[in-house]
Amino acid sequence: MSTVRVLFVLLGAVAVGSALLVVTTRQIVHAALWLVVTLGALAGCFLLLTAEFVAWVQVLIYVGAVVVLLLFALMLTRAPTRPDPAARTPNAWFAAVVAAAVAGVLVTTLVAGFSGAVIDLDRAEIGGARVTGGAVFSTWVLPFEVLSVLLLAALVGAIVLSRRDVPNRPRDAEAARDTEPARDADDRERSSS
Amino acid sequence: MAELPGKGLVHGLKVTFDNLTRRSITQQYPDVKPDLPPRTRGVIALFEENCTVCMLCARECPSWCIYIDSHKETAQPSEPGARERSHNVLDRFAIDYSLCMYCGICVEVCPFDALFWSPEFEYATTDIADLTHEKDTLREWMWTVPAPPAVDDGAEPPKELGVAEKAAARVRPRSEEDARSGPEAGA
Amino acid sequence: MADVLELLLRVGCVFVAFLVLPLLVGQTEHKVMAHMQGRLGPMYAGGFHGWAQLVADGVKFAQKEDIVPANADRRVFQLAPVLALIPYLVALVAIPLAPGLVGAELETGLFFVLAVMGIGVLGSLMGGWASANKYSLLGAFRSAGQLLAYELPFVLAAASVAMAAGTLSLTGIVEAWQPWWLLWQLPGMLVFFVAGLAELHRPPFDMPVADAEIIFGPYTEYTGIRFALFLLAEYAGIVVLAALTTVLFLGGWHGPFSDALGWLWTLLKAFAVAFVVIWVRVAYPRLRSDQLQRLGWQVLVPLALVQLALTGVVSVVIS
A20 in any annotated domain: yes
- Mean per-residue pLDDT for B169-181? 63
Give the residue, C170 or C257, on which the prediction is more confident: C170
pLDDT tens, residue by residue, B5-39: 778 888 888 888 888 888 888 888 888 888 888 88
Which residue from C40, C43, C282 is facing B16, i.e. has the nearest CB?
A: C282
- Mean per-residue pLDDT for C138-151? 85
A188 in any annotated domain: no
Residue C148: partners with Cβ closer than 8 Å, 6 or more residues away: A65, A68, A69, A72
Count: domains in chain A: 2
pLDDT tens, residue by residue, C38-96: 888 888 888 788 888 888 888 999 899 888 888 888 888 888 898 888 888 888 888 88
Chain B: closest CA distance from residue C221 (Å): 33
Would you say residue A102 has pLDDT above 90? yes
| Closest Cα in chain C to B15 | C283
* Phi, psi (degrees; rounded to nearest 5) at C178: -130, 150
**What pTM was computed for the model?**
0.77
- The predicted structure's pLDDT at residue A193: 45
Chain C: closest CA distance from residue A72 (Å): 6
Would you say residue B152 has pLDDT above 90? no
- Mean per-residue pLDDT for C289-305? 89
Q: How many CA atoms lie within 13 A of A33 on its CB side?
A: 23
Distance between CA atoms of C194 and C270, rounded to whole angstroms?
15
- Chain B residues with CB-CB distance to C40 below 8 A: 24, 26, 28
Would you say residue C1 has pLDDT above 90? no
Query: Which CATH number is A20's domain given?
Result: 1.20.120.1200
A121 in any annotated domain: no
Would you say residue A180 has pLDDT above 60? no
- Chain C residues with CB-CB distance to A68 below 8 A: 118, 121-122, 125, 144, 147-148
- The predicted structure's pLDDT at residue C250: 87
Which residue from B12, B15, B24 is facing C35, i.e. has the nearest CB?
A: B24
> ipTM > 0.90?
no
A87 in any annotated domain: no
- Chain C residues with CB-CB distance to A33 below 8 A: 76, 126
A190 in any annotated domain: no
Q: How many CA atoms lie within 13 A of A40 on its CB side?
A: 17
- Mean per-residue pLDDT for A9-13? 91
Nearest to A129 by CA among A62, A59, A56, A64: A56
pLDDT tens, residue by residue, B82-103: 788 888 889 999 999 999 999 9
- Chain B residues with CB-CB distance to C43 below 8 A: 28
Identify the top-confidence range among A120-124, A150-154, C47-51, C102-106. Answer: A150-154
Q: Are residues A71 and A14 in the same domain?
A: yes
Would you say residue A150 has pLDDT above 50? yes
Chain B: closest CA distance from residue C231 (Å): 24
Give the amino acid at B103. C
What percentage of residues in chain B have a pLDDT greater than 70?
91
Among the residues of A49-140, which ranges form H helices? 52-58, 67-76, 92-114, 129-137
CB contact, 8 Å: A84 with chain C?
A: no
CB distance B114 to B46 below 8 Å: yes
A171 in any annotated domain: no
Contact C283/B24, CB-based, under 8 Å?
A: no
- The predicted structure's pLDDT at residue B59: 92
Q: Are residues A4 and A75 in the same domain?
A: yes
Q: Are residues A2 and A76 in the same domain?
A: yes
- The predicted structure's pLDDT at residue B187: 41
Q: Are residues A137 and A62 in the same domain?
A: no
Q: pLDDT-derived band of residue B61, with 50, 70 and 90 as boundaries? A: very high
Q: Which chains touch A (3 or more CB pairs under 8 A)?
A: C
Which residue range is the domain that position A151 belongs to?
A: 128-166
Q: pLDDT-derived band of residue A104, with 50, 70 and 90 as boundaries? A: very high
Q: Is the dihedral of CA C210, C214, C215, C220 positive or negative?
A: negative
